Structure 1
Amino acid sequence: MRRLLAVAALAALTCLAIVPPASAQSAAAQPAQTDAAGYVEQTTISNLFEVSAGQAALQKASTEEVRSFARMMLDDHTKASEQLAEAAKGQDLSLPTSVDARHDQLLQDLASATEQDFDRLYMRTQVEAHTAALKLQQDYSSFGANPALKAIATQLAPTIKRHLDQAQTILDRLAKA
């Protein structure tokens, strides 16, 4: 009987060592990017990328549907950039003026794409970029500490979701063509 109790006690201690406390679990469930400076930087880079990629699509896209989507990207992401700059004003938050290395490589890939490959590549990057952007906005909307930026994230999330849905629909149509 003592041996059975000792085994049970050892098993309980082992379980406690494996399962982190509730406070650690809830912290791990939260996204990593909830600070204002990181949010502003990532959102600004995303907007800069969307504007640059949209300009490339206006020049290289072979279908009107893709060019129309690109015009929407230019309009909506320029407006989002202006809103973010206004919200960040006076809060000692700097906005990047260029994209990061990863987005720069994506822009180079778009620039070097052949005419027949451009539309699918552009739309594939749009699906990937808007998937990441949507997560960023939803995370900051839920967990961000800055009320002005949280309001921006809450406002941008539905627009980005609409962009993502449209990009996926266009990509699906291009894949069938």
Structure 2
Amino acid sequence: MRRLLAVAAFAALTCLATVPTASAQSAAAQPAQTDAAGYVQQTAISDLFEISAAQAALQKASSDEVRSFARMMIDDHTKAGEQLAEAAKGQNVATAVPTSVDTPHDQRLQDLANATERDFDRLYMRTQVEAHTAALKLQQDYSSFGANPALKAIATQLVPIVKRHLDQAQTILDRLNKA
């Protein structure tokens, strides 16, 4: 009987040792990007990318619908970038707001610049779906878990706008793929 109790106790301890604590589970559920500086950096780069990609689309797109979407991207992301910069400045966020895109986004811009006229519209819209999917996650995560209340309010305000952009981009891409 003692041996059975010892085995049962050992098994129980082994199981407890492998179950994450509530705080570990909570930390795992939260995104890594909850600091204000990282949020500002990622959001600003996203806005810069959207504006640059849209400028390319205004020059190279053959579809009126794609060009219209690009104009909306320039307008909406310019406004969002201005709001973000103002909020970051007002909150003394310990980072400079980027004025250029990072290497991965620059590569995407190069891909758009090198795209043939025939392939451009689909590539641009596919890029928009990917970029807005990532941007939506960033905004939702910071809206839920962000450390800075003013930036958290911006993220919350941006969630429905980014969602609308994503939905429109996907709709346009679906139409282009059917054509």
Which interval holds the TM-score relative to the shorter structure?
over 0.9
How far did 1:79 drift?
0.4
Aligned match of 1:7: 7
* Greater CA drift, 85-94 or 47-56: 85-94
Q: Does 1:143 align with 2:145?
A: yes
What one-letter code is carried by the residue in structure 2 that aligns with 1:26? S
Matched to 1:162, the amino acid is: R
Cα deviation, 1:127-176, whole Å, max 9, x if unaligned, reads 01000000100111111121110111010110000000000111111111
**Map 1:87-166 → 2, pairs under 5 A:** 87-90=87-90, 91-92=92-93, 93-166=95-168
After superposition, give the CA deviation of every residue in 1:56-103 in whole Å (9 maximum; x if it has no partner): 000011100110100000000000001001101141431011000000
Unaligned stretches of 5+ residues in structure 1: none
Q: Give the structure 1 partner of residue 38 of structure 2.
A: 38
1:34-113 equivalences in 2 (<5 Å) = 34-90=34-90, 91-92=92-93, 93-113=95-115
Deviates more, 1:73-82 or 1:9-18: 9-18
Comparing 29-38 and 82-91, the one that deviates more: 82-91
Quote how far apart the aligned CAs of 1:36 are.
0.2
Write the distance in 1 (CA, Å) between the matches of 2:63 and 2:148: 41
Q: Which range is displaced more, 4-13 or 148-157?
A: 4-13
Is the counterpart of residue 169 in structure 1 residue 178 in structure 2? Answer: no
Structure 2 counterpart of 1:134, one-letter code: L
Q: CA deviation at 1:17?
A: 1.6
Q: Take 1:164 and 1:3, find their aligned partners in 2: how far apart are those partners?
A: 62
Partner of 1:138, secondary structure, is helix
> Which residue does the alignment assign to 2:25?
25
Residue-pair matches, total: 177
Task: Kindly report structure 1 stretches of 4+ aligned residues shifted beyond 4 Å.
Answer: none
Distance 1:120 1:4 in 2: 66
Of the structure 1 ranges 14-23 and 59-68, higher mean CA displacement relative to structure 2 is found in: 14-23
Which 5+ residue runs of structure 2 have no aligned equivalent? none
CA distance in 1, matches of 2:50, 2:148: 24
% identity of equivalent residues: 85
Taking structure 1 as the reference length, what is the TM-score of the superposition? 0.97
Structure 2: how far apart are the matches of 1:45 and 1:168? Answer: 22
Higher alpha-carbon deviation: 105-114 or 140-149: 140-149
Give the CA RMSD over aligned residues: 1.0
